[in-house]
Structure 1
Amino acid sequence: MKRSVLILVLTAVFLFGFTACKKDGNIQQESRVTLPQMTLPSQTTTYVFTLPVVTTTTTEETEEEDPFSEKMTITWLTGTGSSHEYIDGRWDELELEEKFNIDLVMWKVFIDPVDTEEVQMMLAAGDVPDYGFYYADAKELYEAGMIRTIPVRLMEKYYPSYYQRLLDEPLGFDLNKADRAGEFYGFTSFSCLAYYSETVPLWRLDWLQKYNYRMYNLTPVKSWAYPQYEKNLYFSNIKFTEEDVKEIFRAFTEDDPDGNGIDDTYGSVYAGPDRNVYDFYAMFGFDSDENFFYLNKETGDYVPYFAYSGYREALKFLTQMLDRGFMRRIPENGNTEEQLNALWASGKIGFMNAFSGSSILGYHEKAAERPPLSILKSDPNATFVVTPPPGREGKLKSYRVFNWDPEHTYIVGAQVSDEKLIRLMQLLEYAYFGEDWLRYRFGLEGVHYVWAGEPYVSPMILDSPENIPPKYAGLGTSVFGQFGNIHFVPDIKAYFGYDAFTSQMANYFEQYNAGGYYASNLWIRPAKYYSEYTVPSGLYDRFRAVKERTYENIQAVHENFLAKVFAGEILHMDNEWKDYINEIYNAGLKEWTDIWNSKQIDTFDRYGQ
């Protein structure tokens, strides 16, 4: 097979990918993963839904005091991009008003993380709703006298599900913490995204079996969207080593795995570090996020990825695969995703960093463009397997570092009394965590969504807004409504609407991974993490100043080293690596490690379950 010579342009592609992963020292702020809206087939059935009747039970022996006897008005502002279009009197608003004897008033202020003009006008006028989320800094609003703090003692009694999350993941106690002990500036949102991977390792199972690789605990993946392919996709907990991957990529490239007699197959595709996750850095147990610091056993220092020994090994693997032609490089020009999808759809690639979730034989609108479905359309006999990340240190890359997300903090106005705060928390406990919480997040079954099969086992299929009867229509987010639980869902299955692949992957690794799906041996985690919440304020400010002063010189050394790597000028990586480390330390990294080696900065283990 023709072997291409590596050229310097690879360096630019490589660095661009890593640059996209850089953060500014805060907990990751990323686009929230949302469910795709699916249009249901035309229906002639008219769905009728009767609102529940709230009844009270009296006893002759005792007469309990009604906790909701006093009617209250609660002003509300939530719904990014949709709050200004809210139509008063929606069914969920009426339900909650009746149950809690309140009048819910939705403010029609436009909320957007970029276009903040209307929110700023609201704040300039000194107005804030009783409850809401509108991309405002909670501490600043408190210091301006516009919001109140929330006592943890009231959370524990009236918002117990939220309080339990604080106990389960103690980092929450460090977020939005007010100066007064036991009080917080707001309700910090959380999700399950520290245990969700946006991509997964996907292999051609039929090719692996052709070369007699044994798959352990092979389990088929059920698909409700494409049931005809239920025997085409599997999970296995086989853990390939780096040596295994090298040999597999060689065989996929040189041994004609599709049997057509033409030299036209490859082990993998190289599209840059942002897309080559499980056949590059995740194989060696690290992430390309510069806020992650790892304990480098060779030096005893806590360092970012570009000075970590695992990075050296990853570069060795990558350049070897490229030099030997076992990885095919995408063309230099054009849309990366489109080119990747086209190469994968050709059926000539043996390993893919496939998009996870509903993209894999699910209801995602782009599922047909992505593997495995994009291949099965032309080759219905092809089979695939999802495995743990290869490599002895290989782990899944999580979508977020923490489940807690301080960028989405729900705050309470200063005008809210303790009595109203208690009523608010009782409402939130019911609407966000009660037995009927699903209706306030996704809407009504048979109106806003249907189950593909058995409820809570099969996926939810969301209907398009234009198909919803006017009586139940509501301009809200893609995860229905302003009064539902959007930012406080800890369960991976529920968060993604019981997507088939996501649910089955969690179940599979819960059973077949040592320690289960949530075990630390399955997920990439830093040894230490750079954020204002995980570093003492004095050291945080000190490091930020040091980084601003030294970063340019450090990156110049890194970029120069990469240029040599991709130009083929590094003949003995281990020797050159030592020189590189000396140079990058002299450029300023020594000042970094002097700070990060401090015992005042806790290791990431402190923030575990």
Structure 2
Amino acid sequence: MLKKYGEIFTVILAMILLMFFLCSCGPKGSETIAQTSEEESATESTETENTENYGDVPEESGIDGETQEEPFEEEEEEETEEEQEEEEEHPYPEFFEIRLLTGLGARYFEGAWDELLIEEKYNVDLKVWNINNNDEIGLTKMLAAGEYPDVGLLPGCPLTPKELHDEGYIRTVPLSIISEHFPFYYDKMYQNSPWGPLYNRVGNSEAYYGLSVIDNSYLLPSRVPLVRLDWLENTGHGISEEFLTPLILTNEPETEGTARLYITNAYPEYIEWNEIFKAFAVEDPDLNGINDTIAAYVWPFNERNLYADLFTGQFGIIASDDQFLYRDFVTGDVVPYFAHSSYKEYMRWMTDMRKLGYVKTGPTPADERALQSLWAGGKVGIMSIGLSSILSPADEENAFAPWKGSDDTAVYVIFPAIKGPEREFGTKRLTLEAMSEEKGKVFTFGSEVSDEKLIRIFTIWNDCFSDPYSEFSYTLSSGIEGIHYVWSDVPFKSPKITVPEDKVPNRYKMGGFWLGNYFGVEDYFEYPGKRDLLFFIYKSKWTKKYTVEPYKIINPRQMGALYEKYLADYDAVKEAVEEKVRAFEKRVWNYEIKDFNAAWDTYMAELYEAGLGSIVEKYYNSLEFPSYTLPDFNSTIRSFKGLK
């Protein structure tokens, strides 16, 4: 019995020991399995990476090439969370679609490289409408359908910005949004005081129908003297080399423009200018032994144009713009050019030049090509050149520049103006104001554009225009160095050479219109000479020193409530006054005047009697008609980052 119990006890003890052994061995076995699994995973990973490098087995495949199952749903959730974080971190979290109609029209292709840069940075989608902004018929149909873009610049629009607003197509722009979100434009408005802040204003409110394009041409003279420098030297009127600055206006230094064109601040006095006119006509300035040259081409007094302004300007008046009024210190009146005593002196001077044979009558101003061909013939010493043309080698007039058609030895110099007998002399500025209310020069914004969307549009513009030479802005406007352009020498110190469009890879094709020169920002490195020429003119203050400015100017902003009354009163006497002007000019041109002073006095009496006298007294001399205020040229020029 006892033996039987002993056997049972032995079995139980053996079972207890076996259970204890199994429990104590289990964890150790698990650790070994886990370690082996990690080692195997590491081995598989290494093999997979090595295989991927050679392209044999995709990264997601196992050792046997079978696709391993991945926790797909968990990864998708993780990626979605990351995307949400990125959206939350975007500086412009609210997305906007911006519909544009500003000039590209049918030439637009979606997905341009520069378009994508803007869209990514500012969280927008730019949609360009496929309509020509000059197509009045197409734009009329657009309006009839009740459609209007978010941003419009529409020269062909049948309605003015005010009319667009009154009919519900566009919204107004609060001054507060401009000042806070487009401070660059806000500053430009006040640089052009007193009229800049009034352009496109809604009544007397602090809101605007739109934003004016800003045109820098108001800082430039229209046409300036272009004179044969080699003729000046040949006739004893040369300019010291220290006063000459060479201009190179082409991308290829070996071309005919190199070292054949100069600019100078030096200018002869009035008496020496008259001597130069004589020398160019009678002293064989081209040294060919033949008397076959003249000083200049001129025009009859009734043919008023920018070319003739070069000569009227030396007497302090501009005849091509009948809105200009001048104070005549001889009579004390404020008068148009044809009633100013300086016009008498100009007519006297012109009569002498023609009688002596120093000048000849040029072709009609409408036939510019005929005139430019005569200039390029190499037999004229004093010409004129438009600085806006010289600044644009692609400009049509520049293709006919005298130095491109004359012989290789001809050398030219640009003067600021022809000096007259008095303190006042100069040329006409291209335009008096930087801003405008013309339909094609005002950005308008659709009535459905919210304040938030308008702020986004202004933010894009302000970022890019306020610092046009920042890395992003310059990349956006000019592209990538080596792909879209290369520097000819030191970056931002030399001209850049644009890569032809057909040489640019398709993925980098640019729309090229997102940041046009809409708000007075220029790329000074477009071609050789541009920065040098502008820097010279601005630094020398040509605009301030050598342009003829009106004392008063006839327009509604200047005249205010007087304007409509003036138009009605002047219209009643206009025909009689102009008849007297034409008759006197014809007599002078035909050499019928013997005593200029007496003839002028008679002419003035007839003018005043014909009705000009009442206009002068009632309007031109009126204190209610304020004098013209010059824009702040200096502040504007100082703000140009590209010239610093």
TM-score, normalised to structure 1's length?
0.79
Q: How far has the Cα of 1:281 moved from its partner?
A: 1.1
Tell me which of 278, 282, 286 is aligned to 1:250. 278
Q: Which has the higher contact order (CA 8 A, sep 6+)?
A: 1
Q: Report the equivalent of 1:578.
A: 601
Q: Compute the displacement of 1:556 (Å).
A: 1.4
What's 1:341 paired with? 372
Aligned ranges for residues 226-375 of structure 1 at < 5 Å? 227-228=253-254, 230-271=258-299, 273-274=304-305, 276-277=307-308, 279-287=310-318, 288-330=320-362, 336-357=367-388, 359=390, 362=393, 364=395, 367=398, 369-375=400-406
Residue equivalent to 1:423: 456
Return the alpha-carbon distance in structure 2 between the equivalents of residues 318 and 531 of structure 1: 31
Counterpart-to-counterpart distance in 1, 2:595 and 2:497: 55
- 2:207 corresponds in structure 1 to 183
Aligned length, in residue pairs? 527
Q: Percent identity?
A: 29
Distance, in Å, in 2 between the alignment partners of 1:302 and 1:276 is: 25
Distance 1:400 1:120 in 2: 30
- Cα deviation code 1:229-267 (max 9, x no counterpart): 543332222232332222111111111222222111111
Distance 1:365 1:461 in 2: 20
| Deviation, structure 1 residue 368 | 5.3
Displacement after TM superposition at 1:360 (Å): 8.2
For 1:436-475, list aligned pairs within 5 A.
436-441=472-477, 445-446=481-482, 449-460=485-496, 468-473=504-509
The separation in 2 between residues aligned to 1:303 and 1:297, in whole angstroms, is: 11
**What is the Cα-based RMSD across aligned positions, in Å?**
2.9
Change (3 A) 1:396 1:64: farther
Evaluate the alpha carbon distance shift between residue 126 and residue 533 of structure 1 in structure 2; reply closer, same or farther with a 3 A threshold: farther
Residue 605 of structure 1 aligns to a residue in which SS? Answer: coil
How far off is 1:280 after superposition?
1.3
1:219 aligns with 2:239: no
| Alpha-carbon spacing, 1:117–1:521, altered in 2? closer, same or farther (3 Å) | same
Partner of 1:128: 148
Is the CA contact 1:361–1:373 (under 8 Å) kept in the aligned structure 2? no
Matched ranges for 1:198-217 at <5 A: 198-213=222-237, 215=239, 217=242
The gaps in structure 2 that reach 5 residues or longer are: 1-81, 634-644
TM superposition shift of 1:541: 0.8
Instruction: Select between 286-295 and 451-460 the one with higher mean Cα deviation.
Output: 451-460
1:405 is paired with a residue whose SS is coil
Measured in 2, the distance between the counterparts of 1:92 and 1:85 equals 15
Alignment partner, residue 536 of structure 2: 508
Q: Which residue of 2 aligns with 1:7?
A: none
Structure 1: which 4+ aligned runs deviate by more than 6 Å? none
Q: Return the alpha-carbon distance in structure 2 between the equivalents of residues 221 and 389 of structure 1.
A: 18
Per the alignment, residue 419 of structure 2 pairs with 391
Give the TM-score normalised by structure 2. Answer: 0.75
Greater share of residues in helix: 2
Match of 1:90 in 2: 112
Residue 550 of structure 2 corresponds to 526
2:229, 2:238 within 8 Å by CA — same for their partners in 1? no
Deviations 1:531-570 (A, max 9, x none): 222221x211111212332222221111111111111111
SS at structure 2 position matched to 1:227:
coil
Q: Which amino acid aligns with 2:443?
A: Y
| Separation of aligned partners in 1, 2:463 and 2:609 | 57
Work out whether 1:100 is the aligned partner of 2:122: yes
In the aligned structure 1, how far is the partner of 2:427 from the partner of 2:199? Answer: 26
Deviations 1:264-286 (A, max 9, x none): 11111225542534651121222
| Residue in structure 1 matched with residue 39 of structure 2 by the alignment | none
- Structure 1 partner of 2:20: none
Counterpart of 2:45 in structure 1 is: none
Q: Return the offset for 1:599.
A: 1.8
Sort the Cα spacing of 1:366 and 1:586 in 2 relative to 1 into closer, same or farther, 3 A. closer
CA distance in 2: counterparts of 1:581 and 1:361, whole angstroms? 44
SS in 2 for 1:202: strand
Q: Distance in 1 between matches of 2:466 and 2:437?
A: 20
